[in-house]
Structure 1
Amino acid sequence: MSTTTKLSHDFSGALRTFAFFMASGTHYMLEGIDYLKLYGECPSEFEMVFAIFANVIEMDAEGKVLNFTYAQKRATDYLRSWCDPSFKVDPPLELWETALYSPPPLQDRG
């Protein structure tokens, strides 16, 4: 018998909030950076932003998000450094933070 696990409401809220502020161009960690123009032009940069966010975010056993602000910072620092080459991410991003994992099998993509 197989069991499934759903992501927590806390994580869902964190992802929704991050996605909203990224898509609206109003993320407070990117103030002064015109990143909206990159949508459609540089989709791989946003792919990486969300990968970093997903790789860095941590939850406890009950699904409570433990480091929402830090996960956002790592992701937005990446985008800031891409938009402003003089900005250096500190500490530098590690390979595990920028790992891109495969999508689900084709039959599970709806």
Structure 2
Amino acid sequence: MKLSNSFSGALRTFTYFMASGSQYTLEGIDYLTLYGNEPNAIEQVFAIYANVIELDDTGKVLNAKYAEKRATDYLRAYCDHSFVVEPPFEDWELALHEPPPLKDQI
């Protein structure tokens, strides 16, 4: 099974805005300096995005903007300790799941 085009497009778009420094939910936050210097923060952002995003039975993304907001709220709070994430993160949103094997199975 492959990921849907809808998910691929949502992930690509989120990644572009995160990597270009133009993510609208992080306006005023200098987060690009974290790339290469604090990879755990960036890893957590993408884990939250992947944990929160929902797809319907056909693979259509249902909540791309909400997944972006939850993920970027983490980064905003990471960079600005006065920012309060509402609602607070639940454990399942923050979960870092097992990485794939070092060698492909196919």
| TM-score normalised per structure 1 | 0.94
Name the residue aligned to 1:17.
Answer: 13
CA deviation map 1:55-82 (0-9, x unaligned): 0000000000000000000000000000
Identity of aligned residues (%): 68
C-alpha distance in 1 between matches for 2:8 and 2:75: 22
Structure showing greater Rg: 1
- Cross-structure match for 1:80: 76
Aligned equivalent of 2:27: 31
- Of 44, 50, 74, the residue aligned with 1:48 is 44
Q: Residue 103 of structure 2: which of 77, 100, 107 is its match?
A: 107
Secondary structure at 1:47 match in 2:
helix
CA distance in 2, matches of 1:105, 1:68: 28
Q: Give the structure 1 partner of residue 64 of structure 2.
A: 68
Name stretches of at least 5 consecutive residues in structure 2 with no aligned partner: none
Counterpart amino acid of 2:36? G
Q: How many residues in Structure 1 have an aligned counterpart in Structure 2?
A: 106
- State the secondary structure of the residue aligned to 2:92: coil
Cα displacement (A) at 1:107 = 1.3
- AA aligned opposite 1:16: R
How far is the alpha carbon of 1:27 from its aligned partner?
A: 0.2
What is the TM-score with the length of structure 2 in the denominator? Answer: 0.97
Tell me how far apart the structure 2 counterparts of residues 38 and 48 of structure 1 sit (CA, whole Å): 12
Determine the C-alpha separation between the residues in 1 that align with 2:26 and 2:20: 11
